[in-house]
Amino acid sequence: MGSILVFGASGQLGQCLARVAQDRNTPNLVFLPEAQANILNTEALAALFAQHQPSYCINCAAYTAVDKAEDELEMARKINRDGVVNLSKLCGEHGTVLIQISTDFVFAGTGNQPLVETDAAEPISVYGLTKLEGEQVIADHTDRYFILRTSWLYSEFANNFVKTMLKLGREREELRVIWDQVGTPTYAIDLAGCILTIIETQNQQFGLYHYSNEGLTSWYDFAVAIFELSQTTVRTVPIRTAEYPTKATRPLYSVMDKTKAKTQLGVAIPHWRASLQECMSRLD
């Protein structure tokens, strides 16, 4: 197997990939932080592909500032769509398998049944729209790709909901947390494990997949679980989305069905509470 290029390596998922690859002794990963490998710089990308002749390209680079994106459509689209075009073209030319990370925000979130890959994607935010556009451009340039939609990512790395709640829980007596948005937290270490399993097994079942941890919860219940596990004594108050207005609209229900990932990718998926406990033990 040739090298495995990881774009956006300095972000949360990139750091988790580095940790899991080290634990598994997975060889040939080349971690490329944004400063060294801008996915909008086509000349630099072409040089990297020529130099490494990669078997796989993992794209963790993305514009993820959900509310800010409402005012920065052009920048979000450049990174989340045009950058993916650049990588897809090179993957097609070099016979490289592309692994693209996407999001539950491609859905409107108006239903109440777990979402499958064939359900209509109807994003209600700029972030969700540009991530969906990134999914849609890939097949124009290569048919050797995996798109993994995930949700509510957290880990011991970078900024995320778990670390924010732990910080605020220490600083405040009361926290108001939304209870009417339902989804599934995903431990980025587990997602990294899924990605490396695809590579290690040289899986050829290309296409679109949903991957999050098992189960479902609200942001409020997620916060309560974090405080219980960390023995943080902060009063937690459930509030409706309408009581916490944000620039971008979030899906109210974005629980994803993982049947396809479990059967075709051969991955075992832990329950979100078990993975949260694992993350908390590492944060300790």
The reply to whether CATH 3.40.50.720 applies to domain 4-159+185-214+255-271 is yes
- Residue 277 — very low, low, confident or very high, per pLDDT cuts 50/70/90? very high
Cα separation, 72 vs 75, whole angstroms: 5
pLDDT digits (tens, 9 = 90+) for 240-257: 999 999 999 999 999 999
Ranges of each domain in the chain = 4-159+185-214+255-271
Tell me how far CA of residue 8 lies from CA of 33, 37, 83, 252, in angstroms. Answer: 5, 8, 11, 28
pLDDT of res. 170: 96
Summarize pLDDT for 218-231 with one digit per residue, the tens.
Answer: 999 999 999 999 99
pLDDT of 164 reads 98
Catalytic residue (choose from 63, 127, 145, 211): 127
Pairwise CA distance, residues 122 & 143, whole Å: 24
Active site residue 127: yes
Structure tokens at 117: 């890959």
Retrieve residue 3's tokens: 């090298």
- The letter for the amino acid at 198 is I
**Residues 166, 168, 171: CA angle, nearest 5 degrees:** 115
Binning pLDDT at 50, 70 and 90, where does residue 284 land?
confident
- Residue with structure tokens 């710089």? 41
Residue pair 64/24 in contact by the 8 Å Cβ criterion: no
pLDDT digits (tens, 9 = 90+) for 95-129: 999 999 999 999 999 999 999 999 999 999 999 99
Model pLDDT for residues 31-58, shown as the tens digit of each residue: 998 888 999 999 999 999 999 999 999 9
pLDDT tens-digit readout, 184-205: 999 999 999 999 999 999 999 9
Q: Which two tokens stand for residue 151?
A: 């949700």
> How does pLDDT run across 63-86, given as a tens digit for each residue?
999 999 999 999 999 999 999 999
- pLDDT at residue number 175: 98
